[in-house]
């Protein structure tokens, strides 16, 4: 007995829209129509649909279903599908591992898990900067950034807290004094990680694009006074580093 589209979908455990899609991509032949204009599906259509469904269940993509169904090099196709599934499984396992770390550490889910052990020391602004860094820099640079945070000695003078609370219209003398307090440690960082002065070999995107993104992020994350303090501190740190390296 012929079946309608909805009846065929029920028998095959699929949907009418899926059947229509298979018609569009050429995987399922169109049936003849009854005198009333409705489609009339026969057993070959059902068997073909079940065949497609089974191949899809084991992960065969639509663009490979035809070659698998026709028996053309099934082993090669299945090996390729198996390799893709293995890669996807590894990706999902890594996602679960990351989620586990996040739940145990109770820190921002959007922060890379590599920074989990230093997350508690970061302000929301610093976390956002780290997040941006993960798309601009390569893995070696990110490992160095993490190490910088691990090696950082907590300041007893409250410089970080003062910087975070710095108002946009802070006086020049306040900004200069704060920059001078940051400069020595920053100079040490420049000596330990020379690539910070020339990151051309450490970016995962074109250098000019990374520089533009960083500049735009600085405007968003820090107010004018804070940006001025950082600029002054960098200038002082490089000058101090130059003095240290002079014969």
Alpha-carbon span 81 to 59, nearest angstrom = 7
Please tell me the predicted confidence (pLDDT) of residue 104.
66
Please tell me the predicted confidence (pLDDT) of residue 171.
95
Q: Which residues does 225 contact at the CB level (< 8 Å), separation at least 6? A: 166, 167, 168, 169, 170, 175
Ranges in the chain, pLDDT < 70: 71-74, 98, 101-110, 153-157, 241-247
Alpha-carbon span 78 to 191, nearest angstrom = 53
pTM: 0.58
Residues 16/22, Cβ–Cβ less than 8 Å: no
Number of H helices, E strands in the chain: 11, 2
Alpha-carbon span 200 to 212, nearest angstrom = 14
Alpha-carbon span 12 to 41, nearest angstrom = 12
Please tell me the predicted confidence (pLDDT) of residue 107.
58
Alpha-carbon span 127 to 110, nearest angstrom = 9
Residues 244/191, Cβ–Cβ less than 8 Å: yes
Hey, what long-range contacts does 201-206 have (CB within 8 A, 24 or more apart)? 202/137, 202/138, 202/140, 202/141, 203/136, 203/137, 203/138, 203/141, 204/135, 204/136, 204/137, 204/138, 205/135, 205/136
- C-alpha 52: how far from its chain's center? 33
Please tell me the predicted confidence (pLDDT) of residue 156.
47
Please tell me the predicted confidence (pLDDT) of residue 45.
94
Residues 175/225, Cβ–Cβ less than 8 Å: yes
């Amino acid at each position: 007995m012929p079946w309608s589209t909805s009846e065929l979908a029920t028998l095959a455990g699929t949907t009418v829209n899926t059947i229509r899609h298979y018609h569009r991509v050429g995987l399922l032949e169109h049936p003849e129509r009854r005198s009333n204009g409705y489609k009339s599906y026969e057993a070959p259509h059902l068997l073909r649909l079940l065949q497609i469904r089974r191949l899809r269940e084991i992960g065969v993509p639509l663009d490979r279903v035809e070659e698998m169904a026709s028996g053309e090099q099934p082993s090669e196709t299945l090996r390729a599908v198996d390799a893709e599934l293995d890669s996807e499984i590894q990706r999902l396992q890594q996602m679960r591992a990351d989620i586990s770390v996040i739940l145990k550490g109770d820190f921002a889910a959007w922060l890379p898990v590599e920074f989990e052990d230093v997350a508690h020391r970061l302000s929301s602004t610093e976390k956002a900067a780290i997040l941006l860094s993960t798309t601009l820099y390569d893995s070696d640079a990110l490992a160095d950034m993490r190490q910088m945070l691990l090696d950082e000695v907590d300041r007893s003078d409250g410089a970080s807290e003062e910087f975070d609370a710095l108002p946009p219209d802070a006086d020049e003398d306040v900004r200069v004094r704060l920059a001078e307090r940051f400069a020595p440690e920053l100079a040490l960082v420049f000596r330990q990680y020379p690539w910070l002065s020339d990151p051309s070999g450490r970016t995962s995107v074109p250098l000019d694009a990374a520089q533009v993104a960083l500049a735009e992020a600085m405007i968003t994350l820090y107010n004018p006074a804070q940006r001025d303090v950082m600029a002054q501190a960098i200038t002082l740190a490089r000058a101090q580093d130059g003095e240290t390296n002079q014969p």
